[in-house]
A and B are shown apart, each in its own frame.
Chain A
Amino acid sequence: MSSESSKFTGLVGWVDNRLPVFSYVHKEYGEYPTPRNFNYWWNFGALAMFCLTVMIVSGIFLAMQYQPNTQMAFESIQRIMRDVNYGWLMRYIHMNGASFFFIAVYIHIFRGLYYGSYKSPRELLWMLGVVILLLMMATSFFGYVLPWGQMSFWGATVITNLFSAIPIVGDPIVTWLWGGFAIDNPTLNRFYALHYLLPFVIVGVVGLHVVALHVTGSNNPTGIEPKSSQDTVPFHPYYTLKDSFGLSVFVIIYALIVFYAPESLGEAENYVPANSLQTPAEIVPEWYLLPYYAILRSVPDLLIIDAKLAGIIAMFVSILVLFVLPWLDTSKVRSARYRPTYKKFFWVFVVVCFVLGWVGAHPPNEKVFGLEWLEVIDVGRITTFYYFFHFFVLFPLLGKFEKTKPVPNSITESVLGASATEKV
């Protein structure tokens, strides 16, 4: 047979000649040439993958105990917490796993922004990542509804009502989403079905994300492409070990939260059973959605668009803008290491995102630091403005006017210095 070409022998070789899984794993996770200069910020893709796995495994076992029915949902969560063997552990792993998944993914995204990982030829890789982020947001939203507490119910009410802002077809769409005239059992059933489905869609898109990554190869802290074999090391054992170490640290922090502060990231209000006749005093989304929530609330009436619709448009654009970022950024230099001006604005942007998160967690008319002349909504408006200014004005202009620093000739040169490169 002409196709008996696998380097593996025996049973593994027999399988590999017919279904080259072993060759694939060896090529893509063994010898896969990876830039030699990754720092720890490059751990977070693998960490996100770990989180996805943990979420799916813990989720499947929780699904074996959960009841997606408005009469039983809240009770079934209490049963999981009290009666099911290790139910409390599985639920705390799952609840806090969502937070840690978002932590990993947000750091992963900020790393991409800092080192210009979205630029040619990695635009599609980046865009697939944005798709994953959107799917994660939808999945976490559906998941948060399932315990059927007050925050579940009213969070679902508020988010689904966003669609009512769409002119003309808005209200019929909301009715369709609900399967009724309010959030009720049909809504809970479909959210459960979707909450089970979407993680597997995420797995699929992650697969595409990884394939796209392995076509272009990874970016690295210098932002320049590897030029020779000196610039790369095999993925195994170099980065399997580096990822393992990072994973150990990440899991220790995750475990500390799960075991010692499992409710610290949640809302106590959600332990009150859903009541469709009474809204809680304050509705707050989970922390990872707070910045978008702040943008939603900050936008005033804009020309002919009322504040409701304008806020919703702004919120969606704040994420969708990431899709066009590769073309908004006109700079030829990738890494912020050699972009002194961009580097400063990058950190401003990070601070702005945190401030937006803080704004989202506070009532709009609360006074900031007790100052008479400054309300939370004012801070929200300033930071929302900066958010869009950063993408739509700074990125295009910086590329044209920024004085960049000289980029090293190769990754090896940046690691060992110019003289070392000559010696080798």
Chain B
Amino acid sequence: MVDAPKKNGSLGQSEADQDEAHDGRRREFLYLAAGGFAAIGAGAALWPFIDSMNPSGDVLALASTEVDISSIELGQAITVKWRGKPVFIRRRTPDEIEAAENASLDDLIDPQADADRVQRPEWLILVGVCTHLGCVPVGQKATEVRGDFGGWFCPCHGSHYDTSGRIRKGPAPLNLDVPAYTFIDDTTLRIG
């Protein structure tokens, strides 16, 4: 690879050899240094373009939403939009709470106690997106199909969720997601 120019005259043979070897190491170092520098530069130039496709400032600014829950009666549910997705807010009946709390963890596909999924047992707040392939399950209205466990039923591929939003039957792998939320007071909920 190294084709160093032939030295003539005063240099001894071994000295010339040494010089060539030295030259080869230096060349390899230069290749690596130049290549590495170019790669870092290319990456640095590319990153802003990739990052530009991430949520922008105005999108992130809409990351939380406040909901007035004073008008929701026992057994009713409403759907609100948060980050472009539906969020289910359900005011559970004592029967529904009992069913959710009494379910054995051994029967669950994604075991999680009801107490870990709610802050106040009466209020169940879920991201209404099926964990299978992203459809919105039905069951918000009492007249809709609520599946075998009285929660929600996903019409796309038949996943059944219980009154805690946990997956009980069907292809979905995980429970419905619980978003970060806080009760500002008894009638106002902030999601996000």
List B contacts of A89 (CB < 8 A): 48
**Which residue, A57, A82, A85, A89, has most C-beta atoms of chain B within 10 A?**
A85
List B contacts of A57 (CB < 8 A): 49
Tell me which of B49, B51, B53, B56 contacts A83 (CB under 8 A): B56
Q: Are A79 and B56 in contact (CB under 8 A)?
A: yes
CB distance from B24 to the nearest CB of A (A): 17
Q: Are B52 and A61 in contact (CB under 8 A)?
A: yes
Q: Are B51 and A85 in contact (CB under 8 A)?
A: yes
A residues sitting closer than 8 Å to B (CB atoms) are: 57-58, 61, 64-65, 79, 82-87, 89-90
CB distance from A400 to the nearest CB of B (A): 50
Q: Are A83 and B57 in contact (CB under 8 A)?
A: yes
CB distance from B84 to the nearest CB of A (A): 16
Asked whether A64 and B56 contact (CB < 8 A) given A85-B48, A86-B48, A90-B48, the answer is no
Q: Are B56 and A84 in contact (CB under 8 A)?
A: yes
Q: Are A85 and B58 in contact (CB under 8 A)?
A: no
Convert B14-54 into 0s and 1s, putting 1 for each residue whose CB lies closer than 8 angstroms to a CB of A. Answer: 00000000000000000000000000000000001101111
Convert B90-116 into 0s and 1s, putting 1 for each residue whose CB lies closer than 8 angstroms to a CB of A. Answer: 000000000000000000000000000
Specify the chain A residue showing the minimal Cβ separation from B55: A85
Q: Could you tell me the distance between the alpha carbons of A266 and B56 in the complex, rounded to whole angstroms?
A: 26
A-B contacts, 29 of them at CB < 8 A, read A57-B49, A58-B49, A61-B52, A61-B53, A64-B52, A64-B53, A65-B52, A65-B56, A79-B56, A79-B58, A82-B57, A83-B56, A83-B57, A83-B58, A83-B59, A84-B57, A85-B48, A85-B51, A85-B54, A85-B56, A85-B57, A86-B48, A86-B49, A86-B52, A87-B52, A87-B56, A89-B48, A90-B48, A90-B49
**Which residue, B49, B51, B57, has most C-beta atoms of chain A within 10 A?**
B49
List A contacts of B48 (CB < 8 A): 85-86, 89-90
List B contacts of A85 (CB < 8 A): 48, 51-52, 54, 56-57
Specify the chain A residue showing the minimal Cβ separation from B53: A64
CB distance from A93 to the nearest CB of B (A): 9
B residues sitting closer than 8 Å to A (CB atoms) are: 48-49, 51-54, 56-59
Q: Could you tell me the distance between the alpha carbons of A89 and B52 in the complex, rounded to whole angstroms?
A: 10
Q: Could you tell me the distance between the alpha carbons of A266 and B160 in the complex, rounded to whole angstroms?
A: 60
A-B pairs, 4 with minimum CB distance? A86-B48, A83-B57, A83-B58, A83-B56
**Which residue, B48, B54, B57, has most C-beta atoms of chain A within 10 A?**
B48
Q: Are B49 and A84 in contact (CB under 8 A)?
A: no
Q: Could you tell me the distance between the alpha carbons of A183 and B51 in the complex, rounded to whole angstroms?
A: 35
Q: Could you tell me the distance between the alpha carbons of A85 and B57 in the complex, rounded to whole angstroms?
A: 7
Q: Could you tell me the distance between the alpha carbons of A57 and B53 in the complex, rounded to whole angstroms?
A: 13
Q: Could you tell me the distance between the alpha carbons of A300 and B146 in the complex, rounded to whole angstroms?
A: 82
Supplied contacts A86-B51, A89-B48, A90-B52, 15 more A-B pairs, CB within 8 Å = A61-B52, A64-B53, A65-B56, A83-B56, A83-B59, A85-B51, A85-B52, A85-B54, A85-B56, A85-B57, A86-B49, A86-B52, A87-B52, A87-B56, A90-B48
CB distance from B3 to the nearest CB of A (A): 13
Q: Could you tell me the distance between the alpha carbons of A58 and B57 in the complex, rounded to whole angstroms?
A: 20
List B contacts of A87 (CB < 8 A): 52, 56
Specify the chain A residue showing the minimal Cβ separation from B49: A61
Specify the chain B residue showing the minimal Cβ separation from A60: B49
Q: Could you tell me the distance between the alpha carbons of A89 and B46 in the complex, rounded to whole angstroms?
A: 12
List B contacts of A84 (CB < 8 A): 52, 56-57
**Which residue, A58, A86, A87, A89, has most C-beta atoms of chain B within 10 A?**
A86
List A contacts of B49 (CB < 8 A): 57-58, 61, 86, 90
CB distance from B167 to the nearest CB of A (A): 35
Q: Could you tell me the distance between the alpha carbons of A84 and B49 in the complex, rounded to whole angstroms?
A: 10
List B contacts of A82 (CB < 8 A): 57
List B contacts of A90 (CB < 8 A): 48-49, 52
Q: Could you tell me the distance between the alpha carbons of A42 and B166 in the complex, rounded to whole angstroms?
A: 68
CB distance from B114 to the nearest CB of A (A): 39
List A contacts of B56 (CB < 8 A): 65, 79, 83-85, 87
Q: Could you tell me the distance between the alpha carbons of A90 and B47 in the complex, rounded to whole angstroms?
A: 11
**Which residue, B51, B52, B56, B59, has most C-beta atoms of chain A within 10 A?**
B52
Q: Could you tell me the distance between the alpha carbons of A83 and B158 in the complex, rounded to whole angstroms?
A: 40
Q: Could you tell me the distance between the alpha carbons of A414 and B50 in the complex, rounded to whole angstroms?
A: 50
Q: Could you tell me the distance between the alpha carbons of A33 and B56 in the complex, rounded to whole angstroms?
A: 49
List A contacts of B58 (CB < 8 A): 79, 83
Q: Could you tell me the distance between the alpha carbons of A58 and B45 in the complex, rounded to whole angstroms?
A: 11
Q: Could you tell me the distance between the alpha carbons of A87 and B53 in the complex, rounded to whole angstroms?
A: 10
List B contacts of A86 (CB < 8 A): 48-49, 51-52
Q: Could you tell me the distance between the alpha carbons of A101 and B90 in the complex, rounded to whole angstroms?
A: 59
Q: Could you tell me the distance between the alpha carbons of A68 and B2 in the complex, rounded to whole angstroms?
A: 57
Q: Could you tell me the distance between the alpha carbons of A79 and B57 in the complex, rounded to whole angstroms?
A: 9
Q: Could you tell me the distance between the alpha carbons of A52 and B54 in the complex, rounded to whole angstroms?
A: 25
Specify the chain A residue showing the minimal Cβ separation from B58: A83
Q: Could you tell me the distance between the alpha carbons of A79 and B51 in the complex, rounded to whole angstroms?
A: 15
Q: Could you tell me the distance between the alpha carbons of A84 and B58 in the complex, rounded to whole angstroms?
A: 8
Q: Could you tell me the distance between the alpha carbons of A208 and B160 in the complex, rounded to whole angstroms?
A: 61
